A and B are shown apart, each in its own frame.
Chain A
């Protein structure tokens, strides 16, 4: 039974974590995900949960401590953002390389410099090759449900999972959320029984071995294979979640795509704005649609190809810059569609950097430009939400 409450994204995550009650949490709080750890520390202080909370001196140490605890056989969760993700970058690869099912909530935030605390995807996009599963939620409800699913996904795939949601936009806004009962969550996640662990001294193992050129690639390939299989695990657990609790999210979400001619592809909370814009376009007779990526790693390329192949033109929205080349989502969409004999025209728009809003008018302009270009049979130029006209001299 779901119960309606009002909570911010961070609070929703904290509630889910209370229901999950991991064995260990190691963290170094950072804006805008601070509230998660703050609220959780309160639960511990109040004796509501028995999690061992380790507050360390940096995110590098936080992830290192998570790895130690996870290798020891504990169910481990942490939270971070922005510079924190950047600082733990080195250790992220060790978590995935050791195949440890650590779950991390990430309130996405821009990277310095210039200093900025607001939401964009630069932080987690910077670690997209770190071998972590990355799931992006559109709102607080999805973040809540996803972090519960993530425990099962991580343990099933034996890969760490990041559950990402937009900093401030989602992490700090109070939303209507339907939470599950504690017992339902506990029952869904079950008890964690790792196959090997450091503390399993009867069947002791050596973790973190040395692999020279004759073994390294084979072990890396195992990770690649685990990522491929994770697509099915994410789907299966989502289906089980649907059967039990009536909600499902899939690998990605589509909106009005079946009969669409033009579409946007996006990650995160901006999907809401684009749905509004799609509705408006439809009123004007423009056959617009939208696709929102939920699973970015593993990237569901084949399913996406099948869903987008009938379109005439696509604008891929990236909320991070990759100076010197195009956005990461754009590149992945291009590579997914490249094998089609005829594929839609694909353009890239970089938006929302450092928390800049993509207002409805801008979203509508993206659709109108796509529609115009399609009518003329040309491709829309790549775009960047930046001021190109100043005050003049």
Chain B
């Protein structure tokens, strides 16, 4: 464990990726070993694919602060698409460690987020998860990388906790997860950061109370500007069976079914968040929409 008395971790991920569980797991291990830890979550639009943040605090003395850490020592980015949209460096200093789920070299990520200044670990947790679990649940792999980067607890202890959490219900799933933790630990790569790199730009200022629209009354149609397409971790695929009954169009919460000449022709990649409602409501005898893994742009 580093010399610091308290270690604060912030997790950036998307609803449905299991990051809440990932944030809790190290806390549970530490508490079980009679240490002090706290795991919390920032609540917002709790929908599948929406950006969410979780926190883990670990300390060698009693934790008295329940508010969310403002200056985390470690930031874990579970979904690399968030590097563009979320302020992942917010509140961190040069010593903070950034762990990113990415197939890229850590140096490239450091360049992209900080001009090369920051300390970055990367691990291709999605690829590992797909190989070991057959699903994009990168959290256990990232847990392995976190243990490697911090030596918070031993690898054995975290493996035990993972085993306990998953129980004996599904031996294959358990072995897959244990293997994912081990591979995350072993395959994580580090970049030290460079002193003379350009400092990161501070967050832009926000509107004061008197500059905000009264009562938060906004112009209509703001949902259009809000790119829920970023949230997608699965995507719909349309096949020839479609009879153009328009049920999917009626139910899609983001108006992402594209219709031309009274025919469904595809999905709006800007707004389709991959919720799968369209596939669910498509009549069982037709099944013209299938949901597939991955947030690839869906076809128009």
Chain A residues with CB under 8 Å of chain B are 97-99, 158, 196, 204-207, 209-212, 214-215, 217-219, 221-222, 225
Contact = CB atoms under 8 A, between A and B. Distances in A.
A207 B44 CA distance: 19
A204 B220 contact: yes
A97 B207 contact: no
Interface string B136-172: 0000000000000000000000000000000000000
Interface stretch (B178-186, B209-217, B270-278): B209-217
25 contacts: A98-B217, A99-B217, A196-B217, A204-B219, A205-B217, A205-B218, A205-B220, A206-B217, A206-B219, A206-B222, A207-B215, A209-B217, A209-B218, A210-B45, A212-B44, A215-B212, A215-B216, A218-B208, A218-B209, A218-B212, A219-B216, A222-B209, A222-B214, A222-B215, A225-B209
Contacts of B33: none
Contacts of A222: 209-210, 212, 214-215
Contacts of B85: none
B201 interface: no
Contact of A219 (B45, B215, B221): B215
A205 B219 contact: yes
A219 B207 CA distance: 11
B220 A206 contact: yes
A158 B215 CA distance: 10
A218 to B, nearest CB: 4
B216 A209 contact: yes
Contacts of B44: 212
B261 interface: no
Contacts of A219: 209, 212, 215-216
B206 interface: yes
A215 B208 CA distance: 9
Contacts of B210: 222, 225
A211 B268 CA distance: 26
A98 B213 CA distance: 11
A219 B215 CA distance: 6
B46 to A, nearest CB: 12
Contact of B206 (A204, A214, A225): A214
Contacts of B221: 204, 206
B217 to A, nearest CB: 5
A158 B214 CA distance: 10
Contact of A97 (B206, B215, B219): B215
Nearest to B222: A206
B244 to A, nearest CB: 30
B218 A99 contact: no
B261 to A, nearest CB: 27
Contacts of A214: 206
A209 B45 CA distance: 13
Contacts of A210: 45
Contacts of B209: 217-219, 221-222, 225
Nearest to B215: A99
Interface string B189-215: 000000000000000001111101011
A211 B207 CA distance: 13
Most buried by A among B45, B216, B217: B216
Most buried by A among B217, B220, B222: B217
A66 to B, nearest CB: 16
Most buried by A among B44, B208, B214: B214
Nearest to B209: A218
Nearest to B219: A205
Top 10 A-B pairs, shortest CB-CB distance: A204-B220, A218-B209, A99-B215, A209-B216, A221-B209, A206-B218, A219-B216, A205-B217, A98-B215, A218-B212
